[in-house]
Amino acid sequence: MNYYIIFIVSNLKLKKMANITKSERHNRMLNKTFDRYNHSQNELPPSHLYGRFLEIAIDKLNITPNEARAKYGLYTIKQWEALLQLGWNK
């Protein structure tokens, strides 16, 4: 008898979780992914990416490392990609 009650309760919990369709769950996942992407685009790059941006800037813009740091040191990822014509921000 206890097993039957537990089975009913567990099925009720599953039905509550399944109120959204697979496509709605997928869309929510995509929205979260793009929100994270857009948020990260407006932040300063991590150190390894910053170093890579400096290397590319030195090669493409023909400037010294100190000039690159002085001019573009506080650029966000989006600004770096636009400046260097990289990624989605071409």
pLDDT along the chain (90 residues), means of 10: 58 59 92 92 93 94 93 93 78
Residue 86 confidence (pLDDT): 84
Query: How many CB atoms are closer than 10 A to CB 58?
Result: 14
First and final C-alpha spacing in the chain: 65
Parse the chain into domains and list their residue ranges: 44-90
Residue 89 confidence (pLDDT): 56
Residue 76 confidence (pLDDT): 94
Residues ≥6 apart with Cβ < 8 Å to 62: none
**How many angstroms separate the CA atoms of 90 and 36, rounded?**
20
Residue 1 confidence (pLDDT): 56
**How many angstroms separate the CA atoms of 21 and 17, rounded?**
10
Residue 19 confidence (pLDDT): 82
**How many angstroms separate the CA atoms of 44 and 35, rounded?**
16
